[in-house]
Every structure is written in structure tokens, then in C-alpha cells.
Amino acid sequence: MENASKALIIAGEILIGIAILSLASYIFIQFGTFSSNLNTQISETSITQFNVHFTNYSEKANISAQDVASVINFANKSNTDYEAQKGDAFFVDVCIDGTSVLNTNINEFLKNNQNFYYCNLRGINNNNIEIKEEENKVSIKAQVDTSDIEYNEETGQVSKINFHVINNSAYSNALLSGLNVEIIRQ
């Protein structure tokens, strides 16, 4: 009888041990899944925070030379931080009308440049710009075209942004006097 009761106690201890090990492995797996999901969310948030420095200028036609200079500075800092060279996954290029301006002296750029720019819009020309001083706005007819901001397929981060010069002194003067820009999408 003693052997039977000892056998039952040992069997019970083994079952309790198995239950504790099963519970521990379940908790370990759950924490691992949580950690993995958290890392994914942090990575996606980091990419979004990086990209917003460029996507803020999408579909805008009142981008000043100072804004472009800020983007150039951010891209240069990012390239330096990542030690990125042209062709690397983390390299970011900034262009004006297709020509890279990354190595531009910012002070000279600002001193010699009073233009306004647009990004991710097409069809802007002098015929499509209408200045309405009485309404305190400038209307521009344009087509949305998202090809001015390119993304790296590997990282999901912006790899290039291209600005276009608006060559219209009346438009520039209207913006400098405080008129608001209204984009009329065609």
C-alpha cells in the first residue's frame, strides 16, 4: 500500500511539473510574440517619422527656398549619420528639376535663390497661375503626380525627393505678400 501511495504522489508531482513547464513555455512564447510585434511597430514608426521630413512637401506649390534648404540639411545629416553613399539603401538625394543639390553650399543657395517650388504636381505653368488679391489667394491648376518622391524598396524610407522651380515673379511676389495657395486638381 505504501508503494502505491508513493507512486501516486510521484505521478502527481510529475503532472504538476509538466503543467508548470507548459505554462512557462506558453508565457515565454507570448512574450516573444509581443516583443516581435513591438519591434515591428517601432520600426514602422521610425520609418514614418523619417519619411515625414519629405512627404510634408508632397502636392504643395508654395515651398520656399528655406524649406528646400531644410530638406537638404536633413538629407545631408541622415547620409552622414548612416555613412551612406549614393546607391546605398539609406542614401537620400535631393534634386531641383532633376539635378542633385546635396553638395550645395546652403548659405549661397539661400542668398542667390528667392524662388518657390512645387513637388508631386504637374502641369504648373504661367497660364495655370491665377492671383486673386481680393480673395487673398493664389489659385493653381495642376495634376497630382507622385513621382517626385521615391522610396527605397528595401528600407521603405524616402531615397529621393525632386522639387521643381516655379518661374513666375508675380506668383513669388504674391506669396511673399502673404497670399494663400489653393491647388485646383485637374
Distance (Å, whole) CA 93 – CA 114:
22
Q: Is residue 173 part of a domain?
A: yes
Q: pLDDT tens-digit profile of 121-165?
A: 998 888 888 888 888 999 888 999 989 999 999 889 999 999 999
Q: Are 118 and 63 in contact (CB under 8 A)?
A: yes
Q: How much is the pLDDT for 36?
A: 62
pLDDT at 119 over 90: yes
pLDDT at 53 over 90: yes
| Mean pLDDT computed over every residue of the chain | 86
Residue type for position 81 = D
| Per-residue pLDDT band at 109 (split at 50, 70, 90) | confident
Q: How much is the pLDDT for 16?
A: 83
| Per-residue pLDDT band at 96 (split at 50, 70, 90) | very high
Our count of domains for the chain comes to 1
Q: How much is the pLDDT for 31?
A: 64
Q: Is residue 68 part of a domain?
A: yes
Burial of residue 159 (number of CB atoms within 10 Å: 0-12, 13-18, 19+): buried
Q: Is residue 92 part of a domain?
A: yes
Distance (Å, whole) CA 60 – CA 182:
9
Percent of the chain with pLDDT over 70: 92
Q: Is residue 140 part of a domain?
A: yes
pLDDT at 23 over 90: no
Torsion sign (Cα): 117, 96, 46, 144: positive
- Domain span at 179: 56-185
Q: Is residue 141 part of a domain?
A: yes
pLDDT at 173 over 90: no
pTM exceeding the 0.85 threshold for the entire prediction: no
Q: Are 95 and 161 in contact (CB under 8 A)?
A: yes
Q: Is residue 67 part of a domain?
A: yes
Distance (Å, whole) CA 103 – CA 95:
11
Cβ partners under 8 Å of residue 141, min gap 6: 123, 128, 184, 186
Percent of the chain with pLDDT over 90: 38
Distance (Å, whole) CA 133 – CA 138:
8
